[in-house]
Amino acid sequence: MPIYNCHIHTFTAGHVPSGYLPFGLVRLMRFSVFRKFAFAILRIANPFEDRDQLERYANILKTSFVPHQRVVFKKVKDYYDSGTRFIVLPMDFEFMCAGPIDKTVTQQHDELAELRDFIETSASAYRIIPFVAADPRRGNLFKLLRRFIEEKQFRGIKIYPPLGYRPDHEVLYRVYEYAQTKNLPIMAHCSRGGARNRSLQKERLHSYTDPDNYIRIMDDFPDLRICMAHFGGHEEWDLYLENRRRGFPDDQNESWLAKILNIMRSGEYPNFYADISYTIFRFEETANLLGVLLSDPRVRPQVLFGSDFYMAEVEKLSEVDLVKRLRRKLGEDMFQQIAEKNPERYLGIS
């Protein structure tokens, strides 16, 4: 069966700020001589452990320092069966206060459109479903949206509040109205990890990312489909289990996982989704709980499969092994639910 990976990235180092990595590494890694030296050091630092952490960092750096998103996509597609569909999520890093960027966000989207068109006109059976990165602080945001949605046929919108804005920002309210009118889904970052604005305190950014922020938005836009990327994050899954062990009922469990589940179980928000990207790579800690959550008929229709390639390349479990283990753990019927049926509903296909 063709499946959907609802959460991958193909942006390259040219699309991230110069200060995204410490010690000026983004600038230095742009020199091929330095890259080769750094990769060699990382790979030989511990030659006795398979996929040790330094080697995994080398993998993620090597993936990003390439000339085009086409190179990144070639790597991820080889992990999956022919026919797989990938939702590709660009990132607008310009306002995260981490330095200048070589390529503009428009160039990043143009390159993604070129990649999508290349795949569709080649003999490949794989398909790319591109989203548009929307930051409410961007002055030409609606010009960007109209160009890539109405002219380039992008299929959804990505927001990332930890970069420094609330999801109920007044400009985003116009974005939601536009998305609802155009039948476009929203993908919203929802974990405490990942990229963040360098000028704001973590606590403030976490308040922007809290899933409870979306209740009012869904009340105001009942036909808008919104997905909480990462399902709150693995730290929140750990907190959920700890609170359950301490006897907290679900309505008093303050983990973000509990908040997401409470929204799903309320029955009031059928267009509210969560994907398991990155979080599921902590397989031993999360897979059993995921199986339990999916046994709930109120939750099952609103969970999406995603991996967060290539951010998850830093994890010990490889992407290939993750997919095999998850299919065995859930069984084919349940995997089909989260990797085919639910994604098609989220995308507005069925």
For residue 89, give the 3-state DSSP assignment. coil
pLDDT score for 23: 47
Q: Is residue 44 part of a domain?
A: no
Q: How many domains does the chain have?
A: 1
Q: Is residue 169 part of a domain?
A: yes
pLDDT score for 24: 58
pLDDT score for 2: 86
Q: Is residue 191 part of a domain?
A: yes
Residue holding tokens 């289990």?
241
Q: Is residue 45 part of a domain?
A: no
Please write down the long-range contacts of 210-215, taking CB distance under 8 Å and 24 or more positions apart: 210/256, 210/259, 211/256, 211/259, 211/260, 211/263, 212/259, 213/161, 213/166, 213/167, 213/168, 214/167, 214/188, 214/263, 214/272, 215/263, 215/269
Residue holding tokens 């290349």?
118
Please write down the long-range contacts of 221-224, taking CB distance under 8 Å and 24 or more positions apart: 221/176, 221/177, 221/179, 221/180, 222/271, 223/180, 223/271, 224/176, 224/179, 224/180, 224/186, 224/271
CA angle 323, 327, 330 (to 5 degrees): 135
Tokens for 303? Answer: 């969970």
Helix 69-77 with 53-64: angle, nearest 10 deg: 130
The DSSP bridge partners found for residue 132 are: 157
Domain that holds residue 228: 4-30+65-346
For residue 64, give the 3-state DSSP assignment. helix
Name the residue type at position 117: D
Residue-by-residue pLDDT tens, the chain, 350 positions: 789 999 999 999 999 998 776 545 555 556 564 455 555 555 555 554 444 454 555 666 778 889 999 999 999 999 999 999 999 999 999 999 999 999 999 999 999 999 999 999 998 999 999 999 999 999 999 999 999 999 999 999 999 999 999 999 999 999 999 999 999 999 999 999 999 999 999 999 999 999 999 999 999 999 999 999 999 999 999 999 999 999 987 777 889 999 999 999 999 999 999 999 999 999 999 999 999 999 999 999 999 999 999 999 889 899 999 999 999 999 999 999 999 999 999 999 97
Contact residues for 94 (Cβ-Cβ < 8 A; gap 6+): 17, 101, 104, 105, 135, 138
Q: Is residue 106 part of a domain?
A: yes
The DSSP bridge partners found for residue 131 are: 156
CATH code, domain with 119: 3.20.20.140
> Residue 313 burial (CB < 10 Å; 0-12/13-18/19+)?
buried
Q: Is residue 181 part of a domain?
A: yes
Name the residue type at position 105: V
Tokens for 268? Answer: 């009031």
DSSP letters of 259-279?
HHHHHHHTSS-TTEEEE-TTG
Q: Is residue 35 part of a domain?
A: no
Q: What length is written for the chain?
A: 350
Q: CB atoms < 10 A from the CB of 246, how many?
A: 8
Q: Is residue 49 part of a domain?
A: no
Helix 53-64 with 32-44: angle, nearest 10 deg: 160
